Structures are given as C-alpha cells and as structure tokens.
Amino acid sequence: MSKKPKQKLKASVSTTKSMIRRSLFEIIDPQPTPAQEARLWVHFGSACAYCGLTLVQGEKQAHLDHLVPSSAGGRNHVVNRVLACAPCNEGGKRDLDWETFLRAKCTVDAEFETRRARILAWQAQFEVGDLQLPPALIEEIEKARVRVIAAYDSAVAQVRAFKR
C-alpha cells in the first residue's frame, strides 16, 4: 500500500474551532488505535457491516461508522464502531437507529440476521457496556469548549486588528 503524501493542515479559524472541540473529546473518548482498527477489518471481513460492499483499507470509500451517532453522544470507542461504506455512513444512516437502518439495507431476513449477529459479536468482545457518553460529561466538555473558543475569538480579533 502506498502512503499518501502528507498534506499541510490548513489552520483556518473555523477548522481550528472544530479541532478544539475534537481535541477536548479525544481526551476522554479517544479514536480507535491502529491495532483496534485492524481487528475491526478482520471481524467484518473487509466489508460494509450494513450493505456488504467490499472495502479496501485506506481508501476514501471505507469509513468507521458510529453505531450510536456522535450527535447522540455515541462514543468513538471501537465498541461503537463498524466498517461502513461511504454511501451507508454519509447518506443513508444519518441519525437512524443502526438496527432500523440495517433492516432497510437487507433484502432478506437471513441477511439481516447474519449481519446483525456479526455486529453484536463485535460488541461482545469488549468489556465496555455503554456506547454513549454521559450527558452531564458532554455538558462539562461543552462548557470548557465555550471558554476556550471565547479566548480564541478574542485572540483572533486582536491579531486581525494588526492587519489594518
């Protein structure tokens, strides 16, 4: 597999703000490690957990979907992640409950049962029970984020004033 050339990260104000948020969440809820991700690829047989499309590691088409979406407090932990193709992850699933989405993706019952069992078997490998972050914790992180953003906004305004 060839390595992609390193791209320079564009640190625009809006990118930086979303990075601040991600970074604060990363502290308590880290993304899967490369070893965990490798296990995920093996478990799901390099295929989308929902529609069965064959995926290639490192390609844009391959996503690590959140079973419980981030918008609902779903954790980044590997217990809450499955392999998914871009159309399933971006277009179809959105905030749908994963079982409802999977049901819609499968044409026959047997297919649904097999794929559902594979997802449940994946989750059963981990001791972590809760797929969601406690709402009170999310609230505390959001408060911290607001404080950091306010300080950052003030620094941005100060620096912009130098341009005049």
Answer yes or no whether residue 51 interacts with Zn ion by CB under 5 A: yes
Nearer residue to Zn ion within complex by CB, 68 or 86: 86
Residue 137 near residue 13 (C-beta atoms within 8 A): no
Answer yes or no whether residue 50 interacts with Zn ion by CB under 5 A: yes
Q: Please give the biggest Cα pair distance in the chain.
A: 67
Nearer residue to Zn ion within complex by CB, 49 or 133: 49
Residue 54 near residue 84 (C-beta atoms within 8 A): no
String of contacts with Zn ion for each residue 114-143, x by CB under 5 A: ------------------------------
CB of 95 to Zn ion, least distance (A): 17
Q: Which residues of the chain form contacts with Zn ion (CB under 5 A)?
A: 48, 50-51, 53, 85, 88
